[in-house]
Structure 1
Amino acid sequence: MKNLKIAILYQANNPPLVDGIYKPMKPGGYSDSGADIAFALYKDSFPIITPVKFPNITVDMDWVFPDTEEGINHAINKGAELLWLNTVLYKGHPIEKFFSKNIGFIGQCPNRVDRYDNKIITNELLKDNGIPVPDFLLLNEVKKINLNFNFSYPILLKPVRGRGSQGVIKIDSGKELCECLQQNQKTYSKDHSFYIEKYLSGKELTITVMPPGKYRFGNQYKIMSDYWSLPPVRRFNHINGIVPYNGTVAVVKNSEVLNKDEIKNKKIKELFSHCEKAASLVKAKAPIRIDCRSDENSDYYLFDLNMKPNMTGNVRPHRKNQISLTGIAAQSIGWAYQDLLFNMMNQYWYANK
């Protein structure tokens, strides 16, 4: 793998509507984390393909290719043999046109991301397989809403296809719910569908689950035959019950890894098992991030399965405070950002083999 030439893709355009539902696009389309990845690999002497001959360390677009057909062809024509899918994928994504070629991929399968980006589909899958998720329901057109839930306020209002905590609102009353729906119905969906979830008042943890494969720990390699978890990251300093979007508050400001004694707790071990089972159900080919929260009885529930975790890294001088939740967890097992990337690369796959 060391000699395979690598190109990093970023999200160039808004994803298409799926069943009339819109998924918001991150400004820059993950070009910032893509540039972090490319620069880190370049510094680690991996053969990185870039759009320009001499990329500027502070210019994100110098390091990454757009995930359009034209952009992907550009990367391949420059010699790319591995494509890092640091972008939002969906069924029919331009990358699928290259699955018949002898190109390796780092990231998820587009059709699985397309399916499990939908919170309703994902939570129903988890619930049907005995994995605890908060009570939830889908509200259709605002004028047809029935405000009699089988769970009480406060609740969370979320986009059906969201991104992190962006667009998530804690609601304390029926009146407040109606007002929020009226204000936000045009933002995330054209069919006026909204995801309602029971609010859990306990501790919030984020767990990154890695796929089976060969991993390097220090100077040794280990075969992980099944999905496995990095240590949980505790989230704190919530605002009105919700962790601020990481584009507003860097995760280093409100996140820390559980200590070894906390990880030994029986309920945390059960949570590991649930998260790893969830990763298996969605057949993840790359790390996924699962956000979890406990109730008043300290029982944990999985409330957000993210097929595309953020992969920012603190490797460029002007981004020293930028690291992802997965990166924080990886550091606790002795992996620097470059080690995390190396182990992600080691799980590359071919669509035609």
Structure 2
Amino acid sequence: MQQKVAIIYQANISPSKDGIIKPMKSGGYSDSGADIAYTLMQQQITVITPAKTPQIMNDFDWVFPDTKEGIQSAIDKGATVIWLNTVLYKGHPIEYFLEKGISVVGQIPENVDVYDDKWLTNELLKNHKLPVPASVMITHENLNNYTLNFSFPVVVKPVRGRGSQGVSLVNNQQSLDVLLIEMLDSNIYGNALYVEEYLTGEEVTITIMPPGDYIIHGENVLKPDYWSLPPVKRFNHQNGIAPYNGVVAIVNNSAVLSDNELNEESMIQLRKECEFATKLVNAKAPVRIDCRANAAGKYFLFDLNMKPNMTGAARPHRPDQDSLTALAAQKIGWSFSDLVMNMLKQHWSLAIHH
């Protein structure tokens, strides 16, 4: 039976969790949702859209809001698979439809709820002997009496962040004090912040795919375990931080590693560590892990992202919008449409999942 796919985007900011707020991307990923929908349609997949004849330039013609009404409307129009191109959390409206047996592409909502918390996730990785940077959590309570057991410069970031939004490099205690007070008072990111050691070495981003059946170079390939796409190197940082892709297109500051770099022992090891980390969070869809080396060249996993941005240079007016995952996929011979079709192949439902 041919699937009929509808893509949902984030219509509202997700609820705060224990006082911590995850900021919302403007447009709620409707841009990447439209890229995915358009690409699937080009591949002769039946895509259910809110607009009868979606216009290439209008993102919202292609995607449904991730509200109960939005999802119901997609199902009423015939959708059999809902693509969760949105921020998930425990209690997300999709849970109601999962209980009713709908198939989805994306993560288990309550897992995202847990692992979106950088502090908790890095503790989990650390407990499993994976390398993560030293860090400390700062709240109003310990603002005046915390200790850094690492030296400046340090990185300050939201606990439930999104890309490099709200991430700053700080060079001394005075600047750190000012920034922490400012960020906590603004409450944009909620009542806690994350401060970690700054790693001065190379930064790479690794996309990890879930186990499943894939088509690679025209062949059916069974991947019995989590596996990674080739790492992508990040460069042209601004003040030590990779700029947010809403500001600088990924293709202008990122490149897939060369064959020689891919064969380096440290890179083979790092990919194994990222695959293991993704297994720990029981991912059902791609996960992106940002890693960075210290001065001695040892890599650490510093940011596990359950919802990689999935933009792709699919629609004619977006030629430079390939995401980090789309760039990595090119190295194994996948176009953006190959990537999207292979993601669709991994759709799941609770019936299969239990």
Q: 1:131 corresponds to which letter in structure 2?
A: L
Gaps of 5+ in 2: none
Corresponding residue of 1:136: 135
Measure the CA separation in 2 of the matches of 1:142 and 1:171: 21
What displacement does 1:142 show? 6.7
Give the secondary structure class of the aligned counterpart of 1:126.
helix
Q: 2:98 corresponds to which letter in structure 1?
A: F
Measure the CA separation in 2 of the matches of 1:212 and 1:143: 42
Instruction: Say whether 1:350 aligns with 2:345.
Output: no
| Percent identity of equivalent pairs | 54
Contact residue 24 and residue 163 of structure 1 kept, 8 A: yes
How high is the TM-score relative to the length of structure 1?
0.98
Measure the CA separation in 2 of the matches of 1:198 and 1:31: 34
Aligned ranges 1:149-298 → 2 under 5 Å:
149-185=148-184, 186-191=186-191, 193-298=192-297
Corresponding residue of 1:146: 145
Measure the CA separation in 1 of the matches of 2:295 and 2:52: 56
What displacement does 1:344 show? 0.5
Corresponding residue of 1:307: 306
Q: 1:32 corresponds to which letter in structure 2?
A: D
Gaps of 5+ in 1: none
Count of aligned positions: 351
Measure the CA separation in 1 of the matches of 2:78 and 2:169: 48
Contact residue 83 and residue 106 of structure 1 kept, 8 A: yes
Contact residue 211 and residue 226 of structure 1 kept, 8 A: yes
Q: Deviations over 1:93-151 (max 9, x none)?
A: 00001112231100000000000000010000000001000001101117733353110
Q: Deviations over 1:265-284 (max 9, x none)?
A: 11111101100000000000
Q: 2:239 corresponds to which letter in structure 1?
A: N
Q: 1:183 corresponds to which letter in structure 2?
A: E
Contact residue 292 and residue 299 of structure 2 kept, 8 A: yes
Contact residue 154 and residue 173 of structure 1 kept, 8 A: yes
Pairwise CA RMSD = 1.1
Give the secondary structure class of the aligned counterpart of 1:92.
coil
Corresponding residue of 1:56: 55
How high is the TM-score relative to the length of structure 2?
0.97
Instruction: Say whether 1:86 aligns with 2:80.
Output: no
What displacement does 1:189 show? 3.9
Contact residue 23 and residue 189 of structure 2 kept, 8 A: no
Contact residue 6 and residue 74 of structure 2 kept, 8 A: yes
Measure the CA separation in 2 of the matches of 1:242 and 1:142: 28
What displacement does 1:184 show? 1.4
What displacement does 1:44 show? 1.1
Q: 1:302 corresponds to which letter in structure 2?
A: L
Measure the CA separation in 1 of the matches of 2:271 and 2:325: 15
Contact residue 312 and residue 336 of structure 2 kept, 8 A: yes
Give the secondary structure class of the aligned counterpart of 1:249.
coil
What displacement does 1:190 show? 3.9
Q: Deviations over 1:262-302 (max 9, x none)?
A: 11111111101100000000000000000000001100000
Give the secondary structure class of the aligned counterpart of 2:317.
helix
**Cα separation, partners in 2 of 1:36 and 1:190, compared to 1, 3 Å:** closer
Aligned ranges 1:24-43 → 2 under 5 Å:
24-43=23-42
Q: Deviations over 1:282-332 (max 9, x none)?
A: 000000000000001100000000000000010111111101000000001
- Which portions of structure 1, spanning 4 or more consecutive aligned residues, are displaced by more than 3 angstroms? 187-190
Which is worse superposed, 318-327 or 146-155? 146-155
Measure the CA separation in 1 of the matches of 2:327 and 2:160: 25
Corresponding residue of 1:20: 19
Measure the CA separation in 2 of the matches of 1:344 and 1:189: 31
Which is worse superposed, 144-153 or 33-42? 144-153
